[in-house]
Amino acid sequence: MHLALATCRNLPSWEADDRFLHDALRAAGVSFDVPVWSDPAVDWTRYDVCLIRTTWDYQDRREEFLVWAERVSVETMLLNPLPIVRWNSHKSYLRDLSVRGVATAPTEWLLAGTRADVAGLMAARGWERGFLKPAVGATARETMRFEAEGETVAAAQTHVDRLLPNEDLLLQPYLDQVESAGERSAIFIDGVLSHCVRKIPVPGDYRVQDDFGASDEPVRLTAHERDLAERAVTAVPEPLLYARVDMLRGLDGTPCVTELELIEPSLFFRHDPAAAQRLATGLIARTR
Whether residue 110 is predicted with pLDDT greater than 70 in this model: the reply is: yes
Could you confirm whether 207 is annotated as catalytic? yes
Assign a CATH topology to domain 2-84+280-286: Rossmann fold (3.40.50)
The answer to which of 93-102, 184-193, 201-210 has the lowest mean pLDDT is 201-210
The ranges of the chain annotated as CATH 3.40.50.20 are 2-84+280-286
- At the fourth CATH level, which superfamily is domain 93-104+177-262? ATP-grasp fold, B domain (3.30.470.20)
Separation between Cα atoms, residue 193 and residue 174, nearest integer Å: 28
Whether residue 268 is predicted with pLDDT greater than 90 in this model: the reply is: yes
What percent of the chain lies above the pLDDT cut of 90? Answer: 89
Could you confirm whether 86 is annotated as catalytic? no
Q: What pTM, to 2 d.p., does this model score?
A: 0.95
Q: What is the distance in angstroms between the CA of the first residue and the CA of the last residue of the chain?
A: 10
Whether residue 201 is predicted with pLDDT greater than 70 in this model: the reply is: yes
Residue 211: its pLDDT value, please? 78
Alpha-carbon distances, residue 132 vs 106, 118, 163, 172 (angstroms): 12, 10, 11, 6
Fill in the amino acid letter for 260. Answer: L
Active-site position among 53, 184, 207, 249: 207
What percent of the chain lies above the pLDDT cut of 70? Answer: 99
- Give the pLDDT band of residue 88 (cuts 50, 70, 90): very high
Residue 132, helix vs strand vs coil:
strand
| CATH dotted code for 108-173 | 3.30.1490
Residue 13: its pLDDT value, please? 66
Whether residue 139 is predicted with pLDDT greater than 80 in this model: the reply is: no
The ranges of the chain annotated as CATH 3.30.1490 are 108-173
User: What does pLDDT average to over the chain?
Assistant: 95
Report which of 211, 206, 271, 256 is spatially closest to residue 98, judged by C-alpha positions: 256
Average pLDDT rounded to a whole number, residues 107-128: 98
Sequence-ordered list of residues with C-beta below 8 angstroms from that of 150, at least 6 positions apart, any chain: none
Cis upstream peptide for 10 (omega within 30°): no
Active-site position among 244, 249, 259, 264: 244
Whether residue 182 is predicted with pLDDT greater than 80 in this model: the reply is: yes
pLDDT by residue (tens digit) across 162-179?
999 999 999 999 999 999
- DSSP code, position 173: E
Whether residue 69 is predicted with pLDDT greater than 90 in this model: the reply is: yes
pLDDT by residue (tens digit) across 12-46?
766 778 999 999 999 999 999 999 999 999 999 99
The answer to which of 5-19, 82-96, 234-248 has the lowest mean pLDDT is 5-19
- Give the pLDDT band of residue 207 (cuts 50, 70, 90): confident
- Angle value at C-alpha 89, between 43 and 48, nearest 5 degrees: 30
Whether residue 288 is predicted with pLDDT greater than 90 in this model: the reply is: no
Sequence-ordered list of residues with C-beta below 8 angstroms from that of 245, at least 6 positions apart, any chain: 185, 186, 188, 228, 229, 232, 233, 257, 259, 260, 261
The ranges of the chain annotated as CATH 3.30.470.20 are 93-104+177-262
Active-site position among 62, 125, 261, 286: 261
